[in-house]
């Protein structure tokens, strides 16, 4: 008799972590440091997406996967679990209000929420890298998890030259001659310069340790979407094939910046270590609690040499701006709790964002107030594509 195995049930600790993250789904600083944020360091990553934003997207996607479809009415039993989860966590309703909307008791709502949280956890468990959760349970946080990276536009050529200088004495001791093949002009990548430098030094040190005496080629290759650092060398007879290119701490730093590190044995007998990095495109941060505006601006900027990053509240926008130092900020005024005027003043008080261009985008026609508080430009909603492109063109972004 053949039995079909049901979906694997995640451990209770994982379900509790999902519950905690759902309870504070719109608390960006909390999600940024949440243990679950580290589970998806590279998988399905989006340009310039921070760990907290990625975790929130994963949680909302998991809730959406429970949507039974439009053929079931709002109050139908088949749709109740999804609607309750969405109202409670995505829309931020109280349990009392959500239960009243659905016509169920508070006791039933709490039971359904718990069942819904377990369903979300099962979806995430099936989709996520479970081995990382297992590692979290048995290992203390690595030092790299304490190191908070702050990616920004970074000069790749300059960092590689500094890394070569740092390992030159080690190369000389091992009889390895570093042969740089670097572009004449600077190549810009999206990285934390301090973390990137340490990754490069570790890569070079590891390669020198594996290399036989002779030449080691150090090359930079760039494209519109990615940059790549290549190290190629003849391995020594004692260097085992498949030796690790990075120690775990430096590997974690690379993953925080969404870098991909790999090592291959080439047909010509050389060994190659490569670091693939996102090329820099100026990030444009949109701070607006209306997802519709974010999607509209994304459509307007399709095909332009910049990236759209979204924050859905004032506190989240300030946190993201602090983390990534965007090239420009498009800021709504009317937002709950912390409005755009407060956000603008906070941005101007922060040395990291004091000079960042801020474009107020609002239904309120008050450019004089915006200018007095330090706004760079003003756009009146409904905003048009030509207006957005004109402003960003004036700022040198598109």
What kind and span of H or E run contains 78?
helix 77-85
The answer for residues whose C-beta is within 8 angstroms of residue 64's C-beta and 6 or more apart is: none
DSSP class per residue in 244-255: -SS-HHHHHHHH
Does residue 320 sit in the same domain as residue 340? yes
Does residue 271 sit in the same domain as residue 385? no
Place of tokens 């047909």: 267
* Domain C-terminal end among 256, 278, 300: 278
Nearest to 41 by CA among 119, 149, 118: 149
- The reported pLDDT for the residue numbered 36 is 84
Q: What is the domain extent for residue 160?
A: 152-278
Does residue 134 sit in the same domain as residue 19? yes
Distance of CA 101 to the CA centre of its chain: 35
| Strand, helix or coil for residue 222 | strand
Q: CB atoms < 10 A from the CB of 219, how many?
A: 17
Nearest to 192 by CA among 279, 254, 146: 254
* Domain C-terminal end among 139, 170, 195: 139
In the structure encoding, which two tokens stand for residue 389, read together?
A: 């492109």
Q: CB atoms < 10 A from the CB of 54, how many?
A: 21
* Domain C-terminal end among 112, 139, 166: 139
- Strand partners for 230: 219, 274
Q: Do the beta carbons of residue 239 and residue 210 sit within 8 Å?
A: yes
User: What total number of domains does the chain contain?
Assistant: 3
Strand 307-311 relative to strand 358-362: parallel, antiparallel, unpaired?
Answer: unpaired
In the structure encoding, which two tokens stand for residue 228, read together?
A: 């790549």
Does residue 16 sit in the same domain as residue 129? yes
Does residue 119 sit in the same domain as residue 212? no
Supply the CATH number for residue 311's domain.
3.40.50.2300
Does residue 221 sit in the same domain as residue 240? yes
CA distances from 115 to 52, 94, 122, 198, 260 (A): 24, 17, 11, 45, 38
Block means of pLDDT (10 residues each) for the chain, 398 residues, are 56 86 81 77 58 85 90 85 90 84 86 90 82 54 52 82 94 94 76 87 91 94 81 82 58 77 87 83 87 85 81 91 87 91 94 92 92 93 90 84
Q: Does residue 67 belong to any structural domain of this protein?
A: yes
In the structure encoding, which two tokens stand for residue 337, read together?
A: 């709790």
- The reported pLDDT for the residue numbered 90 is 86
Q: Does residue 5 belong to any structural domain of this protein?
A: no
Place of tokens 């169920």: 104
Q: Residue 382: exposed, middle, or buried by beta-carbon count in 10 A (0-12, 13-18, 19+)?
A: exposed
Does residue 369 sit in the same domain as residue 252? no
Supply the CATH number for residue 205's domain.
3.30.565.10
What kind and span of H or E run contains 273?
strand 271-278
- Tell me the whole-structure pTM to 2 decimals: 0.47
- The reported pLDDT for the residue numbered 141 is 46
């Amino acid at each position: 008799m053949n039995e079909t195995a049901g979906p694997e049930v995640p451990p209770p600790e994982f379900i509790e972590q999902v519950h905690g993250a759902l309870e504070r789904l719109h608390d960006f600083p909390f999600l940024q440091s949440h243990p679950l944020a580290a589970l998806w360091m590279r998988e399905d990553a989006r340009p310039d997406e921070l760990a907290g934003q990625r975790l929130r997207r994963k949680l909302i996607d998991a809730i959406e996967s429970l949507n039974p479809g439009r053929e079931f009415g709002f109050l139908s039993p088949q749709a109740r679990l999804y609607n309750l989860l969405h109202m409670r966590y995505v829309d931020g309703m109280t349990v009392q209000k959500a239960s009243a909307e659905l016509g169920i008791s508070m006791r039933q709502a709490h039971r359904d929420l718990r069942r819904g949280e377990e369903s979300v956890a099962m979806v995430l468990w099936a989709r996520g890298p479970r081995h990382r959760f297992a590692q979290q349970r048995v290992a203390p946080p690595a030092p790299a998890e304490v190191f908070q990276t702050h990616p920004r536009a970074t000069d790749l050529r300059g960092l590689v030259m500094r890394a070569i200088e740092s390992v030159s004495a080690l190369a000389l001791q091992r009889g390895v001659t570093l042969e740089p093949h670097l572009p004449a002009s600077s190549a810009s990548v999206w990285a934390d310069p301090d973390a990137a430098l340490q990754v490069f030094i570790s890569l070079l040190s590891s390669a020198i340790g594996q290399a036989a005496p002779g030449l080691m080629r150090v090359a930079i290759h760039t494209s519109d979407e990615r940059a790549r650092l290549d190290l190629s060398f003849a391995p020594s007879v004692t260097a085992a094939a498949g030796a690790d290119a990075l120690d775990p701490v430096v590997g974690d730093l690379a993953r925080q910046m969404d870098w991909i590190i790999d090592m291959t044995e080439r047909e010509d007998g050389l060994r190659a270590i490569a670091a693939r990095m996102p090329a820099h495109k100026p990030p444009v941060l949109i701070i607006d609690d209306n997802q519709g505006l974010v999607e509209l601006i994304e459509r307007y900027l399709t095909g332009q040499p910049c990236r759209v990053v979204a924050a859905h509240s004032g506190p989240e926008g300030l946190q993201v701006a602090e983390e990534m130092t965007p090239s420009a900020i498009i800021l709504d005024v009317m937002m709950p709790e912390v409005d755009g005027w407060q956000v603008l003043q906070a941005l101007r008080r922060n040395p990291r964002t004091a000079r960042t261009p801020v474009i107020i985008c609002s239904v309120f026609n008050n450019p004089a107030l915006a200018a007095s508080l330090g706004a760079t430009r003003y756009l009146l909603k409904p905003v048009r594509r030509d207006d957005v492109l004109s402003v960003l063109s004036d700022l040198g972004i598109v």
